[in-house]
Each structure stands twice: as C-alpha cells, then as structure tokens.
Amino acid sequence: MKKLLFYYICIVLVFVSCSKKKKEPRTTNNNLVELQREEMNFLPSDVLQLKSYYLSSPVETDSVHILVGYNYKEHALDCMDLLNKKISQIPLQIEGPNAITRLTGIFAYKKDSIWISDESESVFLVNHEGLTMKRIHVRDYLQEEEELIINTNHAMSTIHLYYNAAHQSLLCTVKDRSTSPVRFKVKEIFIEENKEAKTFDLLPSVVEPDISKGYANMSEPNVNFRDGYILYNYPIESHLYRANLTTGISEIYPADSEYTTNQAEKCKSKTDYSEWEKHGFENPHFFDLMYIPRYDMYARLHIGPIDFKEDENPEIIAHKRDLYLCLFDNKFNKIKEAKLPSNTFSPYTGWSQTDSGILLFVDKITDQDNSEDLELNIFHPIFINL
C-alpha cells in the first residue's frame, strides 16, 4: 500500500512539473522603449458611431488597417479605417433563423469574414453585408455543467473569441461547474463537423486557486489568443500565463506593476452588490494580455484602485482611475511600464491591439466639450538604446 502511494505521488509531481512552468521575476528596464502617441480623429459621417467601443477587434489579414467595433445602439459592426479615417457600417440580422442577439465577442479575420458570438451561445461567420455564412451552436459541444464564457466587461473579465485559420477551428473559453472550485477550459471546435473538439485546461491563479469565491465580480480569467498559444491571466493578480496549443503546457510569468498593488483583496460581502461595486473600485484590475505582431511583443493594461463613496457618480469615478500600460518582450521580460494620461480614455474596455501598438478610445467624460466625434490614440513602442 505504501509503495502504491509513493508511486501515485511521483506521478502527480511529474504531471505538475510537465503542465506548469513558473518563471523567475525580471527587472524592468524602462530605458529600452519609449511610447509614441498617435492621435486620430474621424470626421462626422453618415454612420451613427459611438464615442467608444467596449468590444472591438482588428482585422487580422488582408494587410488592411481596420478596427471592427460593436455598435450596440445600432446593433451593427462599425468598421473604422485607421488610414483613411472613415467609418462604414455592417448591419446585423435581427430576425429569421439566423437572427443575432447582443454580441459577446468579435474576431475579424478578413473584411469579408468576421466571426462573432452572441448571447445564444452561438458563433456566426458574417460577410461585409452582415449576412450569415455559417452558424455554429457551441452549446452542442459542451457538457451539461459547462458554460460558454465569451465576454468583455470592465468589472468582470475580458474573454475573447478566436478563429485559428491554420486549424480551421474556433477557440472558445468554457467554465466547468462540475468541479469545486470551478475549472476554466478552452475548447477548440473544428469547422469540419465530424471532427472531435479538443479541450485545454487553464491553470488556476497561483495567488488564489479559487477566484470564484470572495472576489465579487472578478471571478473569471481574462483569455486572449495568438497563433499557437492561449494567453490568459486573472483580474485579481499580476501574473501572466501562456498555454501552448500543441503541447498543452502552460507557463507562468511574474509581471508585477511598480505603480499599484499586485493582488486584489477579498470582498467583505458575498451578496451585497454595493460592497461588490466598492470592491471593484478600491482594488486594481488587471486586463487581458494583448499581442503586437510587428514587434513580437505583448502588452497589458491595468487600472489602479480609487476611493469609492456611495454618494458619488460611479461613471465619473471610473474615469478618474489611473490606467497603466505594461509592455513585455517575446520572453515576457517587462521592458516598459507607464501611466497613461489621466481622465482621457474610456475605462470600459475601450481599447484594442493593432499591428503596431495599443489603441484606446478617447472619452473625456468631465470635459466641457460634448462632441460625439470619434477620437482614438494609438501608443506605438519605439525601441531606443539597443
């Protein structure tokens, strides 16, 4: 019996060592990179665009510079041409067998091939006219206790949809409620219907193995993707995680901020929403890891804590919070951390990666200027002292 127990422990240790590799902390060298700020203004057009978009995606291919954002007021996709400063709109179907409800995710593969997910747990491929070319019922690939979680919410988490062109597959994040604590997975669903889906388990946070209890709204991971990898992290703490889609192995990288605390405290209440709201404001929130292809570099935004008073307007307080940008090289060495201009950008996940930088929507809520013009800033990394 003792021999069997010994062998079991050995097997567990080998499994853990193969599925998780934790890297040593590195020192930031802020002299390696500068941030160049590019400002963009879109003149008024026939499109009733938003001031900022909480859900957006750059077009991945075709060598075009277009950002696709969900216009929830028009139930349409707004296509922002970043070179010509023009906006066009793709209306989405609201009736019929392929009716699309409120969007949860966008992955703009090409101008004429945009993958979107909605609240019905379905993923659609739409063309430049908004017509549905393909519909995949993700629910058909899930177990009873599994739940699709593609979501972009500034108070909760940022979980992206992804299309892997090389595999002809969709990557979707799933919450598995059959275990305690709940587990998070990524399902790879192949467009070829007779091919079985693959499952990749995400590691729990190294700081808090069960983020579903005690952290109010921040109870799910952030999940993003790039070719061959799942990029994930947790809103409550600063580590970065990357899973290899070939081996399934995850690596963990320390990525502490020098500006804020690096772990959220637990919420005082499990049921009082006013305490949940306060908890969200008075703790840091780390957002998803983004990839900048031109420089083979990663970026992460996070927002700092701020004192919350119940008699203040939550929207104004949200805009007053400090926003920080961290840049990492392809080995996850942190090479830049900077505080971005205050009271300037939308705090409601109003940003996206581009081919060469990080794009943020300008939304100065306390300005006297009530213009609805669309204004963007892109922060490009510029290498120095190499």
pLDDT in tens, 210-262: 998 899 999 999 999 998 999 999 999 999 999 999 999 999 999 999 999 99
CA–CA distance, 101 with 92 (Å, rounded to integer): 9
Sequence-separated (6 or more) residues with CB below 8 Å from residue 150: 104, 105, 117, 159, 160, 161, 172, 173
Higher pLDDT, 367 or 12: 367
The answer on pLDDT for 185 being more than 50 is yes
pLDDT in tens, 89-122: 999 999 988 899 999 999 999 989 999 999 999 9
- Name the region of 46 (left: φ>0; alpha: ψ -120 to 50; beta: rest): alpha
Sequence-separated (6 or more) residues with CB below 8 Å from residue 264: 215, 218, 235, 236, 237, 279, 283, 284, 285
Q: Residue 49 half-sphere exposure, CB side, CA atoms within 13 Å?
A: 29
For the chain, which domains are there? 25-383 (2.120.10.30)
pLDDT in tens, 286-325: 999 999 999 999 999 999 999 998 878 899 999 999 999 9
Tokens, residue 298: 């990663």
Proportion of the chain above pLDDT 70, given as a percent: 89
Contact 240, 226 (CB under 8 A): no
The answer to whether the pTM exceeds 0.75 is yes
The pLDDT assigned to 13 comes to 39
Q: Residue 316 half-sphere exposure, CB side, CA atoms within 13 Å?
A: 8
Q: Residue 182: name the closest of 215, 160, 136 by CA.
A: 215
Rounded to a whole number of angstroms, the CA Rg of the chain reads 21
Sequence-separated (6 or more) residues with CB below 8 Å from residue 127: 112, 113, 114, 133
The answer on pLDDT for 4 being more than 80 is no
